[in-house]
Structure formats: C-alpha cells, structure tokens
A and B are shown apart, each in its own frame.
Chain A
C-alpha cells in the first residue's frame, strides 16, 4: 500500500499541440479509493496510464510511496492493472488461474496456495477454487480475473473503465463488489470511468477532469453540494443540475417576468463581482411545484421512476427547468405549472464567462 502524489504532472501526445494532461496535482492517501471521471478526451485515462508507466510524464512527476516514478518501468512500479488481462484457461482450476502470475514470478507452490486462498476468501470464491472456469457464472469469472491481480498484493490497483464490457446488471453488481473489496484490502486504488454515477458511488474522493485539467478533487458529497465550477455542476448528478444564465435583478435573478429571490449574502457576492448576468444553478430536487408565486412553466415530459418523478419543463422565455416531484402527484404533459425554490433549497452561482463558483 502506498500514497500517490501527482506533482504538476503533464503529458503531451506526439503530434499534438495540446496537453493530454495539464499540470495535474493530486494527493492520494494510502488506502484511498480515488475515481478519475470526465467526458471523452478529458485526460482521465492518460492520467491513470502515467501512474501505471504506460504514458510518459513529460513535465512534473508522480510519486508512489514517496518515490519518484519518472523513468521507472511499469513492471517495477508494483501496481496491478485490473481486468484488462481477462483470459481464463479452461483446463486449469480457478486456483491455478489465479496463482499463475505468482508462479511466473518464482513464488513457491505453498506460498502461492496461501495467497490464492486469502484472495479467494475476500472474493468469495473459496468453494470454487478447485473448479474449472467453465463451471463459473459471468460474475464469478470477473472475480477470478480480479483475483489474478489481487494475489500479487500490489501497492496500487489501477482500473481503467473495468466494467465497461459488462451488461448493466453485472456492472452494478461488480461495482458494489469492487468497492467493498477495496475497503477490505485497503489497497490504494485509482479507478477511471466516464460514468459519474459509478464515480459517485465508488470513490472516497473523485477527481473531475476536463480537457486534461483538474476541475475539482473532492468527496462525492462535496462535489454534489458545492461544485467548484459550472462544468462540475453540470457533470455531477443525474438528472443534471439546472444551469441557466440569467439577468441579475436587485433581489434575485430574473426568469422571464418572474424573479427568483436570492439571499442577501448571494446578492452581495453578485454585487461584488459586478455582474449583470450570472450562471444560476439549482438541483431538480430543490425545485418544487407550487400553486402561486415562482416561475410559470409548461410541462414537456414526465419521467416516472416509481419512487420519484422528474418533470421536464420550459418557461416562456425559453429557459428549461427540471424538477423532482412525487410521482403520485406528477403533472401531465402540456400542463402549465409553477415552480419555486424549496424552502431549504440551495442555489449555486457561477461566473457566466469563467464558470467559477461565486457563492
């Protein structure tokens, strides 16, 4: 196990004039489960591969356990890439499949068996150790593949979209298992995904990247409650946060003819910034349907999920808003309704040009 530090680490792809990873700084504690998340081209996989030694560190450095990894070959970094290497061998038992990497490294048969048994216990595969892979379910085979990495007892697990090749059901199941497993093993883990739900449900902390730059590195709750900028605000959460650029009025922000009132401290922040417009954000669960006041909108779509419903609407000014409501009391398509901010509803204000958080 080891702490990991990215210090102003950058990577530039051959023939490109843009940095794939731009001056990345991350302090990952020993035993933490970190998720790198971002859209395609955000640099998340490149950042992981720099750690694994698969991409060069062109500027800055990456340390594992306090040791600079610049120029250190991948095999000498004591890391394991999980899941990429999936091949299972039909005539070998589960135990043999799991322990083979150790055999190649010259580990004795007794020691191999011990490590395999320990890993099998953690992976809930003990009773299958002497079976052949053909007798296992899809999920169990995934776990054997994971076992091949675990038995090596690396300092760091690197996982690059490990679940992307699984069907939806197995993906959710394996997601939970990986997170639980990592907590039992306590091995520092860096996990890459494009799926923000995966990121939020698995990581101790999540690093959001965009165009190679770190946007925010924080706990899932912090990312959700206090996104550092409009990009993070829009990226984290499903459905996404309502984000609209609105004119600033004396007592709030204007949506068409209506005003959405803001607290004094938020108004002060807007005044200090000297802005006539602001990017205003509010999560769907913090908008409520009301009988009077608020903003008048027309219902475009109602998404009934059983336990909750999401109402997709537009105001006459063209502003689109999504609100969460009780599915038993959901409005119907084309209804005109009014939305207001819930009593304890939090609003997020971002600079309309830079996207930086203002409040």
Chain B
C-alpha cells in the first residue's frame, strides 16, 4: 500500500493509482533489458580497454607458458646438436683417419631441406616461426642422427675388420728376438749347400737346435710336414689377405694341417732338416706369391723379456679368439 504510486489526473483532478496495461509492462521490461544490455556493453568495453578480457589474459598466459616450453625444447635441441657435433668430430677427426676411411661427402651430411614446405600448415599463427623452426631443427637433427648412425656402423665394421687384419697379418718375430739374423732376402752367389747361385726368398734366424718357433699371425695351417722343395720339415700358414708364411728346416712340428692357429702359438722347433747346412730357421713371407722382406714385418724393439711376455699375453689372453 505504502509503495503505491499515484498520478494527478489533471482532467479529472483526481489522484489515480499508476496502473500500466500488460503490454506496456512488457514494453517497459524490454526497454529496461535493452538499456541494461547497452549499459553492460559500455561497461565491458571500458573494462576491456582498461584491463583486457580475463579470458584473453588467461589464454595469453597459456601461450606464454607454451612459448617457455618451446624455449626449453630449443635448449634441449641445442644440447642434442652439440652432442651430435662432438660425435661427428670424433667420427671425422678420430676414427676415420685411424681406419684410413674417407670423410663422408658434405652432400650426404647436409642434404638440404628446401623444396616443398611441408610445414606450410603452420603458417598464419602468431608463433608460426617458433613452431616451424623447432620442427625444422628436429628434422635436421634426425637427419644428422641417421647419417651418424650409418657412419658409425661403417666405422664399426671397419674396426672389426681392422682388428682382425692386425691379428692375422704376420707382425712379430717367429723366434726369440735375441737370436742372430742370418741371410736375408737376397741373391746368393753361392748356396751354402748346393753351391749354386740362387735367390734366397726369406730371412734366416741362426737359432740353436730345438728353439721354439711361434706363429707370427693368426691363420690356418695349410702345410705341416716334409717339404720336397728343400724346406725339410716345414709349416706353411695361410693368414688371409693374400699372405702366407713359411717356417722351414724344423726338427719337430707341433701343428697339423688344417689347424687354426693364433699369433704366438708354438708351431715347431728349429732344426736342420731339408737343404740346410746347420740348425736355423728359414722364415718366408709371401703375399699373392710375391716374396716380401720379412724384416719389414716385425721390429727389433723388444727385449727378450718383453718378447716372452708378449708370447704369454697373446696365447693366454681371452681377447684373442
């Protein structure tokens, strides 16, 4: 009652209670709604101009966080690249020179990433650059890894081959280093037994009767017995790579034909069998039938003690299969 409002009707000079018909009420409601909306819009425009929209703020913050994550990813990438570069360095500077392998061609290392822009779909974003550059760098890194993997595999294969080769090639003295050398690879005007001028295709060691003779490299015994060509009791080992070694004039043979030996294995004892004027070892190295100078295939830089240490090491170690 108290809040009822009245209007003075000047025509009837009467106070009349303000009563609105329903449609006018509805109209008024609409009007009121419209006004509030307009006011709200004005408010929000002012608010957003001053403070920015909270949702936008939230989104921008999220983007900032993501950008930070990209930054971390970029750091990880930097690390990965520096590791890869050091691996590449080892590859090119350490391993390849050791194994006498050529460096990988530059074109193989850097195939280039031109051509079709596969990351085109990332265009048109605020942070297109970050996304594209990160993705591109990852592709580069993956390529670098693949190349390195291929390269390391090749080096590893070469290493195994290299180790095998140095196990097989004749590379030590067949007898104790203190034993005096006799005739080397040369033309002899007078053969000590036959008296005829003749080529001497090996190195003689003036070893006393019964001195141990060791295999100078790993290989397969292809001859063990009497040699009718004058070597007497003779052992011939095939080392592969075209190499064969011959140990002649032995008094006793400790291996049999077909046996696999490794460097340092005892193969026989010196003697004077065959065309020989006294106990000595005839040691000969042939590569593809060519006679090589055995002196080039071992060095006299060992003491007697070191020589026998080596023989013990070579035959006892499990390192050599």
Q: Are the chains A and B members of one assembly?
A: no
